[in-house]
Structure 1
Amino acid sequence: MEALEPEPAEVLFERRGRLGVITLNRPRAVNALTANMAAAMLDQLTAWADDDGVAAVLVQGAGGRGLCAGGDIVAIYRDIPDGGGATADFWAVEYRLNALIASYPKPYVAFMDGLVLGGGVGISAHGSVRVVTERTRTGMPETTIGFAPDVGGTLLLSRSPGETGTHAALTGEHLSGADAVYLGLADHFVPSGRMAALAAALETEEPGTAVERFADAAPPSVLAARREWIDACYSSDDAEEIVGRLHLAGGEAGDAARTIQTKSPTAVKVTLASLRRARDLSLEETLEQEYRVGLRFLAGHDFREGIRAQVVDKDRNPHWRPASLAEVGPGDVAAFFAPLGERELKLAKEQDHV
């Protein structure tokens, strides 16, 4: 009987000089993040934090298509009929990983080349040295699948200039590297052809110095150029009013309105509320809030329906319930943020004892 080849590890860890390197290794899935990958990263980063032989950490994606296309939503789709317990456990680990990255005691360099969506933002945009390229396509497209931005994304986008983060979150549009820098999701723009040389330099050089040597000025941001109508239209805390203003403004704003109207109405309203609430929260508090919201989405209709339409049946024709923004009342939105009791994720208290 012929011996089977062992399955390659989903995430690889190695030391190159004084650099700890994390390579997400699911190239056929654009390195979509699984529960096992998040747990392995959390364990390895915790060990490297106390390892004097590791001066900095680099996270990158295998396969050339992107760092990470997000969480493994097909696994979530399969888990929801069983109660969503495995997904809740995954998020608890993933959000701890996001919090650790944000407070990491050593430089954490993220190569945000290619696709960097959803959960990919969580393992990169909380880092201290965030590098994008001309190939970067990033964003938080959760409203498209009947969900809301998580992994701390609501905090990041709530702090973007003006209302640009609100626009990015509600439309779920893919953003360029230049837009990512403008929004505050990234720091440096390095042409993709220089990334291999930069990775080699990081083995021996201080990350800030190395990156500055390879970086160029970021190209102009499209979102920055749209700032006038974005700020005017998205300043409201009411989703219907935002969509109405966008339609009235017409042009690109009207296109944004039509895009938002294809998303889950529940997800749009909960996302807007999440962004507004996150303005006054720490990252740990935001992740706790996102966990509450996420568990409510697991128990609802639109999340699984959105995944079905986008990646399972791929008919791109989700049947949202409720089907319009007007049918989602304030009480419906508030219920997503209600305490979970014993199921609460308690990251803020954990951080206090670190």
Structure 2
Amino acid sequence: MTPPPDTSDTPTPGAPGTGRTPGAPEPRGTSEIVSSVQGRVGRLTLNRPKAINALSHPMVNAMDAALRDWEHDDQVDAVLVDGAGERGLCAGGDIRSFHADACSGGTGSLGFWADEYRLNHRISSYPKPYIALMDGIVMGGGVGISAHGGVRVVTERTRLAMPEVGIGLVPDVGGTWLLARMPGESGTHAALTAGHLSGADALYAGLADHYVPSERLPALIDALTATADAGNPAKIVEEFTAAPPPSALEADADWIDACYGAPTVEAILARLREHGDPAAAAAATEIEGKSPTALTVTLRALRAAAGLPDLWSALVTEFRVSSASLRSHDLREGIRAQIIDKDRSPRWNPPTLAEVSQEQVSVFFAVPPTGDLRPHEG
């Protein structure tokens, strides 16, 4: 299993734009976010390159504040989001902080998740074009600040994933909503294996709109920020697109749909083992290393999300699940094994799928003691 990256680090003060784009402005607000208006585009650059731009709570708040300001700014026609450095847009949240919170009995993660999920919802309903450059690693929270946008750009370097089940968590940031709406059972496959999707896969999955070779990104950013009218960025992006390679996820659709349509994780594994395709057997091996509890809760959350009326409803459910996860054994143990001690040998409890009871699963969907996720006040 490929573990989620260790995103503990400090920002690079004053880092300009992305590592591919010259001439970005001086940072404003927090050093972890470069916020500026270039031409008629409000630009947000995540600025923790050594941590693959993992989201901190101040970064979430800074992004939300900028979006609120630009929503009513007549000088801003669109918003552009990218990441500093060469490794990716965003590797997710600061996992070590979740571990510290879980071990100490703290509640700081709940505040972070609440603000993050509200940001995801704001992005999904933003009244101006929201352009996300999904180059390199885009995981967890990185999906939340990009895949809910209106103009989503991937490249040949895109590696997109929702890897939560590997650390005892469940896909969040609206991930259950997105995964449940991918073609066939491809979202279930991506969630349970925590596998990486290529840029071509993301297009097939409906998580992206445009494929632009990474070498063209600097020119694309220049074109977006130089135009006198950035109100139709999709038209500008089209000038830089190329034909994507074939999607491996699409090529595997037959066995994915045949195996992941089963009603339980145990039945899915049985179908994968019996199918005969080497890729199906490899998927089973990946799933068997993940948290049995997280896998079971994830499958139930995905099936439920498919019938929900909107993204906000999914985010409310995800907040319940994340709140319960913060107090679970498997979150502490998963992060310990993958990030803290790096022994890659988590001791899950319960250790098998057969031992995960429906009563245990139902706890994750109950209203948390702190209450449900509440909308923004403004």
TM-score where L is the length of structure 2:
0.89
User: 2:104, 2:110 → 1: CA distance?
Assistant: 12
User: 1:217, 1:159 → 2: CA distance?
Assistant: 24
Secondary structure of residue in 2 paired with 1:339: coil
**Does 2:359 correspond to 1:331?**
yes
**Does 2:193 correspond to 1:159?**
no
**Does 2:344 correspond to 1:316?**
yes
For 1:215-234, what aligned pairs fall within 5 Å after superposition? Answer: 215-234=241-260
Contact 1:166 1:272 in 2 (8 A): yes
Contact 1:109 1:129 in 2 (8 A): yes
User: 1:237, 1:64 → 2: CA distance?
Assistant: 41
Counterpart pick for 1:258 among 277, 281, 285: 285
Matched residues, percent identical? 56
- Could you list the runs of 4 or more consecutive aligned residues of structure 1 that deviate by over 3 angstroms after TM superposition? none
Where does the alignment leave 5 or more consecutive residues of structure 2 unmatched? 1-11, 15-30
Structure 1 partner of 2:161: 139
**Does 2:115 correspond to 1:69?**
no
Contact 1:139 1:172 in 2 (8 A): yes
Structure 2 partner of 1:36: 58
Structure 2 partner of 1:115: 137
Secondary structure of residue in 2 paired with 1:214: coil
Contact 2:168 2:333 in 1 (8 A): yes
Contact 1:201 1:210 in 2 (8 A): yes
For 1:72-83, what aligned pairs fall within 5 Å after superposition? Answer: 72-83=94-105
* Counterpart residue type for residue 28 of structure 1: K
Contact 2:140 2:161 in 1 (8 A): yes
How far is the alpha carbon of 1:340 from its aligned partner? Answer: 2.4
How far is the alpha carbon of 1:96 from its aligned partner? Answer: 0.5
How far is the alpha carbon of 1:184 from its aligned partner? Answer: 1.0
Secondary structure of residue in 2 paired with 1:91: helix
Contact 1:76 1:84 in 2 (8 A): no
Counterpart pick for 1:268 among 295, 308, 313: 295
**Does 2:240 correspond to 1:214?**
yes
User: 2:101, 2:368 → 1: CA distance?
Assistant: 20
Q: RMSD in angstroms over aligned alpha carbons?
A: 1.3
Contact 2:42 2:78 in 1 (8 A): yes
How far is the alpha carbon of 1:178 from its aligned partner? Answer: 0.5
Q: Indicate the larger mover: 161-170 or 246-255.
A: 246-255
How far is the alpha carbon of 1:14 from its aligned partner? Answer: 0.7
Secondary structure of residue in 2 paired with 1:71: coil
Secondary structure of residue in 1 paired with 2:53: coil
**Does 2:44 correspond to 1:22?**
yes
* Counterpart residue type for residue 283 of structure 2: A
Contact 2:103 2:332 in 1 (8 A): no
How far is the alpha carbon of 1:84 from its aligned partner? Answer: 3.5
How far is the alpha carbon of 1:337 from its aligned partner? Answer: 0.5
Contact 1:84 1:298 in 2 (8 A): no
Secondary structure of residue in 2 paired with 1:130: strand
Secondary structure of residue in 1 paired with 2:239: helix
Structure 1 partner of 2:28: none
How far is the alpha carbon of 1:7 from its aligned partner? Answer: 4.6
Contact 1:10 1:24 in 2 (8 A): yes
**Does 2:271 correspond to 1:245?**
yes
* Counterpart residue type for residue 288 of structure 2: Q
Counterpart pick for 2:114 among 89, 92, 112: 92
Structure 2 partner of 1:189: 211
User: 2:257, 2:170 → 1: CA distance?
Assistant: 21
How far is the alpha carbon of 1:82 from its aligned partner? Answer: 2.5
User: 2:206, 2:167 → 1: CA distance?
Assistant: 24
Change (3 A) 1:270 1:115: same
User: 1:66, 1:341 → 2: CA distance?
Assistant: 36
Structure 2 partner of 1:3: none
How far is the alpha carbon of 1:229 from its aligned partner? Answer: 0.5
Secondary structure of residue in 2 paired with 1:343: coil
> Would you tell me which structure has more helix in proportion to its own residues?
1
How far is the alpha carbon of 1:346 from its aligned partner? Answer: 2.6
Contact 1:101 1:123 in 2 (8 A): yes
Structure 1 partner of 2:74: 52
* Counterpart residue type for residue 91 of structure 1: W
User: 2:367, 2:79 → 1: CA distance?
Assistant: 36
Where does the alignment leave 5 or more consecutive residues of structure 1 unmatched? 1-5
Structure 1 partner of 2:305: 278
Measured against aligned partners, the alpha-carbon deviations of 1:60-111 in whole angstroms (never above 9, x if no partner) come to 0001110000101011111112324110000010001000000000000000
